[in-house]
Amino acid sequence: MEIVPDTSVIIDGRVSERVDAGEFADATVAIPEAVVGELESQANDGRETGWEGLEELQRLIDLDEAGEIVVEYVGRRPDAGERHGAAEGDIDALIRDIAAERGATLVTSDAVQAEVARSTGVDVTEFEPETVSYDELDIEQYFDESTMSVHLKVGVEPMAKRGTIGEMVYEAVDDRVLTEEDLRSFAADIEEATHANPDGFVELSEPGMTIVQYGSFRIAMARPPFSDALEITAVRPIVKTDIEDYEYADELKDRLLERQRGVLISGAPGAGKSTFAQAVGEFLSDADFAVKTMEKPRDLQVGPDITQYTALDGQMSKTADSLLMVRPDYTIYDEVRKTSDFEVFSDMRLAGVGMIGVVHATRAIDALQRLIGRVELGLIPQVVDTVVYIEAGEIEKVYDVSTTVKVPEGLMEEDLARPVIMIKDFETGEPEYEIYTFNRQVVTVPIGEDEDTDSGVDQIAKQEIEREIRAIAHGHVEVDLRGGNTAVVWVEERDISSVIGKGGGRISEVEKRLGIDIDVRTFDEKPDSGGDSGGESVGPGGDGMTVQPEVTSRHVIVPMDGHSGETVEVQANGEYLFTATVSRGGEIQVSRGSAIAEELESAIDHGKTITVVPS
């Protein structure tokens, strides 16, 4: 008797099992090289199925050496294209061809493989797939009712995060250091359970990383070389809430039911954003809205009435295209992080779908500012009209977002009226921020600042005056604000005529552009100035010049008019960010997506003062 086993029965260990039982005694076992190649590829990717299959091959060799069977390796190794097409049946076809050429019996536990082989005239022995009943995973021994996540790594004691939302403690839960064998055993248990249980599915499978969703657990298994050692992280929600459990519940329910909304649920990691999103989703579903989710990985704990979608072919944009055909009333997008996520969120919202987005942010206003540069300013209130900020599992702040045409707070001239995005406290209706364009830049200005300090508008006005004058002057410039719409500009003696211009024409143009009256004076006239300031070209004594970077779709631009060719340091609240040379156009451009740009954008989002000093 000659048999050709496929990958499924080798992984299951069914061939050696049948040899021991006498069913395949004295058989010739022709093992396709395609099977070996597939198992090797799985093992190289760190998948336990590959290792289990290789262990079965070793058992068959041992049985051959004991004289109980004859093992032959036959056929050819699959090429890269065939390995890549394994899921489409390329390797299964190679195995069937070998069985047909040799007139052997194909042994499989794959129902599709068996049916295709029979239809082509190949003799088939089909085993029922092995099913294992799992009451719980082995890693659940480290969970108790207060455990949110368990962290297992080779060479480290088992660790866990335990406590309540907002008050988590990261602590050791066992004093025994885990070994490679321990982690491999846990990983094999997870993979087997995932394939055996209808509540388990693989969210991501890449060389070095596998992410599965098993019931309420999201489990990530990282392997070298992606990680420095085998590591398993399992996370589960510890709280399931109802929207009634939150402050402003009645008002928020009325707002969500009134019409489809664009909502950002924001907060720090672990604050309870997803828990609140689940509560909102189930409320909307119970209110007879069609609700879907977009998640990668899918881990929101929602009822069966809510269908959970992941990235189609790895792209959320394709998922969005599919959902637009389905036309849900509301979609929960967990989580909105990258520019592409914000673009998908915006496109769906502008198509009329109610959107609930989960966003990482340390302040409520930060969530909204992440849209700036990614969505056209005038469209922001159409994309997002509500911001909910979660802290320690509770609603800390709710903003209502709308747009109006007005003179921004702190500016005086009527001809400065423009579209302004108003961010109001949902409870009191009082405005807390305004977002608008000021001299070609988008600015976010807090309302109601302490009178003893410069308001947001004052700070921006000061920066813009300085920017305008520096484009004209060659030396040092300082600005003092004198009231809501008046400023004194101090320049060096040699620059006074060029700044004022013939008949005052040049400074009048600046005044008209900014809507501020400007009095130009020399440093010699400044009290306690000590005469001409001299010093560095960027700032006095190297203290630096405050700038207002502009975020575009591709770059973060630091304006440095009049300083082309100079090498400078860019700082945030006095902390070094990077060194750059000012371009001929009088600016520093940093490509978005780079590490430097991300640091700079983060500093801007957190309201830090960006300064430039001589290098």
CATH of the domain at 28: 3.40.50.1010
- Of 377, 315, 322, 325, which is closest to residue 346 (Cα–Cα)? 377
pLDDT at site 473: 85
Same domain membership, residue 409 and residue 263 = yes
* Cα–Cα distance, 554 to 397 (Å, whole number): 32
pLDDT at site 528: 57
Angle of the 273-286 helix axis to the 249-258 helix axis, nearest 10: 60
pLDDT at site 237: 77
Answer with the one of 76, 105, 126 that is the final residue of a domain. Answer: 126
Residue 328 falls within a domain, yes or no?
Answer: yes
Answer with the one of 94, 126, 158 that is the final residue of a domain. Answer: 126
537 pLDDT more than 50: no
Residue 133 falls within a domain, yes or no?
Answer: no
* Cα–Cα distance, 559 to 543 (Å, whole number): 17
Q: Nearest 10 degrees: CA dihedral of 557, 562, 566, 567?
A: -30
Same domain membership, residue 83 and residue 12 = yes
388 pLDDT more than 80: yes
Answer with the one of 208, 235, 262 that is the final residue of a domain. Answer: 235
Cβ of 25: how many Cβ atoms within 10 Å? Answer: 13
pLDDT at site 449: 53
204 pLDDT more than 70: yes
pLDDT at site 531: 44
Pairing status of strand 291-295 against strand 307-309: parallel
Task: Give 393-437 pLDDT, tens digit per residue.
Answer: 899 999 999 999 888 776 666 667 888 999 999 999 999 999 988
* Cα–Cα distance, 614 to 52 (Å, whole number): 62
* Cα–Cα distance, 414 to 571 (Å, whole number): 36
Name the pLDDT band for 389 (thresholds 50, 70, 90).
very high
Three-class SS state of 486 = strand
pLDDT at site 540: 38
180 pLDDT more than 90: yes
Same domain membership, residue 165 and residue 120 = no
Cβ of 360: how many Cβ atoms within 10 Å? Answer: 16
pLDDT at site 309: 92
Same domain membership, residue 466 and residue 441 = no
Residue 205 falls within a domain, yes or no?
Answer: yes
Same domain membership, residue 496 and residue 382 = no
Given phi > 0 = left and psi -120 to 50 = alpha, else beta, which region is 559? beta
State the alpha helices, DSSP H only, in 410-559: 456-470, 496-500, 505-514
Domain, as residue range, for 100: 2-126
pLDDT at site 452: 45
- Of 531, 532, 535, which is closest to residue 614 (Cα–Cα)? 535
* Stretch 374-397: mean pLDDT: 92
- How high is the mean pLDDT of the chain? 85
Q: Tell me the CB-side half-sphere exposure of residue 58, using CA atoms within 13 A.
A: 6
* Cα–Cα distance, 94 to 34 (Å, whole number): 7
Which CATH number do you get for residue 172? 3.30.450.90
Three-class SS state of 230 = coil
* Cα–Cα distance, 370 to 80 (Å, whole number): 42
Residue 433 falls within a domain, yes or no?
Answer: yes
Residue 539 falls within a domain, yes or no?
Answer: no
pLDDT at site 300: 84
Is 125 in contact with 104 (CB distance < 8 Å)? no
Residue 144 falls within a domain, yes or no?
Answer: yes
Name the pLDDT band for 379 (thresholds 50, 70, 90).
very high
Residue 186 falls within a domain, yes or no?
Answer: yes
- Of 548, 546, 554, which is closest to residue 613 (Cα–Cα)? 546
Task: Give 296-355 pLDDT, tens digit per residue.
Answer: 878 788 888 999 998 898 899 999 999 999 889 999 999 898 889 999 999 999 999 999
Integer CA distances (angstroms), 349 to 263, 273, 288, in order: 10, 20, 20
Task: Give 227-279 pLDDT, tens digit per residue.
Answer: 999 999 999 877 778 899 998 999 999 999 999 999 999 998 878 898 899 99
Which CATH number do you get for residue 506? 3.30.300.20
Is 353 in contact with 260 (CB distance < 8 Å)? yes
192 pLDDT more than 90: no
- State the DSSP H helix or E strand holding residue 251, giving kind and residue range, or none if neither: helix 249-258
Task: Give 477-521 pLDDT, tens digit per residue.
Answer: 888 877 657 888 888 888 888 888 888 888 888 888 777 888 888
Cβ of 17: how many Cβ atoms within 10 Å? Answer: 16
* Stretch 5-23: mean pLDDT: 89
The dihedral built from the CA positions of residue 318, 319, 323 and 326, taken in this order, carries a sign that is: positive
Same domain membership, residue 564 and residue 598 = yes
Residue 132 falls within a domain, yes or no?
Answer: no
* Stretch 523-538: mean pLDDT: 54
Same domain membership, residue 370 and residue 269 = yes
Query: How much of the chain exceeds pLDDT 90, in percent?
Result: 38
pLDDT at site 4: 93
State the alpha helices, DSSP H only, in 408-490: 456-470
Same domain membership, residue 615 and residue 557 = yes
User: How many domains is the chain partitioned into structurally?
Assistant: 5
Same domain membership, residue 116 and residue 218 = no
Pairing status of strand 262-267 against strand 386-391: parallel
Same domain membership, residue 251 and residue 103 = no
* Stretch 112-123: mean pLDDT: 91
Same domain membership, residue 477 and residue 564 = no
Token pair in block for residue 438: 């000021």
* Cα–Cα distance, 436 to 230 (Å, whole number): 50
* Cα–Cα distance, 240 to 12 (Å, whole number): 38
* Stretch 132-152: mean pLDDT: 86
Out of 440-449, 470-479, 562-571, pick the least confident. Answer: 440-449
pLDDT at site 459: 65
Integer CA distances (angstroms), 274 to 302, 303, 591, in order: 11, 14, 32
Out of 319-323, 333-337, 356-360, 611-615, pick the least confident. Answer: 611-615
Which CATH number do you get for residue 313? 3.40.50.300
460 pLDDT more than 90: no
Query: 339: which DSSP letter?
Result: H
Same domain membership, residue 396 and residue 267 = yes
